[in-house]
Amino acid sequence: MDVLWDVLIIGAGPAGGLAALDCAKQGLRVMLVEQRSFPRWKVCGCCFNNQAQAILSSRGETTLFADCGGQRLDSLRLGLRGREASLALPNGYVLSRELFDQALINAAIKAGASARFQMTAQVEEARPNYRCVRLKDHQSGTTSHVNARVVLVAAGLSQRCLPQNEAGQSRIRKQSRHGAGCVVDDDTDHYPSGAIHMAIGNQGYVGLVRREDGLLNLAGAFDRDALSQGQGAVDAAQNVLNQAGFPVPPALQQGQRWQLTPALSRTSNVVAGDRFLVMGDAAGYVEPFTGEGMAWALTAGAAAAPFVLEGLERWTEDLEMRWKATLQVHIGRRQTVCRALSSVLKRPASTTVLFELVKRWPSIAESIVSSLNEEKLPSPKGEPCH
């Protein structure tokens, strides 16, 4: 007889990984499905703020960053038209996604979760007490079906795991920028560890951080037009760095492999349905700046288990509405601040005004950053906690 999984999680990023860990610790039968092989690199700033650390600590992963060699972050260095400003960052960390995601998955497996990689998942029809999910193995090309009483969809910005009639629409915001990133071997002293180096240009921005292995991680958000010109992301990044007055790492011009993302700023009008919950980037995203993206994903992952446990007993429309409210309270309100900053940075005049304010009154900007870092844990009872 086929195993009926309590919860099947699609996507092994921070949201899916933490949800798998949390649900496994509750004694549930957890299957985690990921389309790529691990460890893997992906476009990301690799920064974790105070909220991200609080979430991990609340789940018993208090030493994950230290165990993986994560580097402390204490400042944000901004560059605009040859001028610089610095802000203090409260309790930040840098850790590569290769190490972080793998460590989180290892913890979930140790807690009892089952993980399958290089496998695509497609949610199929709903049955009275479970969902059927079709799996395709990338290596063998074979397909199989599994059943799960609850499905968590954490499959990224452009997830297409749900049936078309249930998936709703992902609305991309006007003038949304696209992400791009790479890792370079840079032995210069222009970008020391301990800081996020943020270069601001006319058609985007680039964040540079020194990873635990000494490599330099670049992650940017660019106007679509900037990525369609010349050598794409390479030229876009160099233009932003030059405009900001930051030196271009020599290795950036040596044919580095860049990854691109779909449009970043988007909202989804469906985050829950018949025995499924959508979480992480798949539920909506805004361009982040100082580690907010990872905190949002981990917060969603930490919020899921109470809803899963309740749904195993009885799935209701009220549960779905409370999940939507939980995402709004714990993530949506924080994203509002980043959305406002993103809008400002798309206008040269307003960017200049904001930069002057940061230079003159850094404490105001630091209070905004602190608000994005504020610890707020999801309710263990599945309530939004207004």
Structure confidence at residue 91 (pLDDT): 85
C-alpha 244/C-alpha 207 separation (Å) is 12
Cα–Cα nearest to 271, from 282, 261, 262, 258: 282
Cis peptide, bond prior to residue 39, ω within 30 of zero? yes
How many other CB atoms are found less than 10 A from the CB of residue 91?
17
Structure confidence at residue 386 (pLDDT): 53
The CA-CA-CA angle for residues 220, 95, 88, to 5°, reads 70
C-alpha 256/C-alpha 174 separation (Å) is 30
Cα–Cα nearest to 25, from 64, 60, 63, 54: 60
Structure confidence at residue 352 (pLDDT): 92
Structure confidence at residue 254 (pLDDT): 76
Structure confidence at residue 1 (pLDDT): 43
Structure confidence at residue 168 (pLDDT): 86
Structure confidence at residue 255 (pLDDT): 63
Q: Where are the alpha helices (DSSP H) in the chain?
A: 14-25, 50-58, 64-67, 97-110, 164-167, 224-227, 233-244, 292-313, 317-327, 333-345, 348-360, 362-373
Structure confidence at residue 375 (pLDDT): 80
CA atoms within 13 A on the CB side of 359: 12
What is the DSSP annotation of 254-297? Answer: S-PPPEEEEES-EEES-SEETTEEE-GGGGEE---SSSHHHHHH
**Residue labelled with tokens 């009008």:** 269
The secondary structure of the chain in percent helix, strand, coil, rounded to multiples of 5, reads: 35, 30, 35
Show pLDDT as tens, one digit a residue, over the chain (386 residues): 478 999 999 999 999 999 999 999 999 999 999 999 999 999 999 999 999 999 999 999 999 999 999 999 999 999 999 999 999 988 899 999 999 999 999 999 999 999 999 999 999 989 989 999 999 999 999 999 999 999 999 999 988 999 999 988 888 988 899 999 999 999 999 999 999 999 999 999 999 999 999 999 999 999 999 999 888 999 999 999 999 999 999 998 776 789 999 999 999 999 999 999 999 999 999 988 888 999 999 999 999 999 999 999 999 999 999 999 999 999 988 888 888 888 888 898 999 998 999 999 988 888 888 877 778 888 777 777 65
C-alpha 15/C-alpha 295 separation (Å) is 9
pTM for this predicted structure: 0.94
C-alpha 372/C-alpha 176 separation (Å) is 21
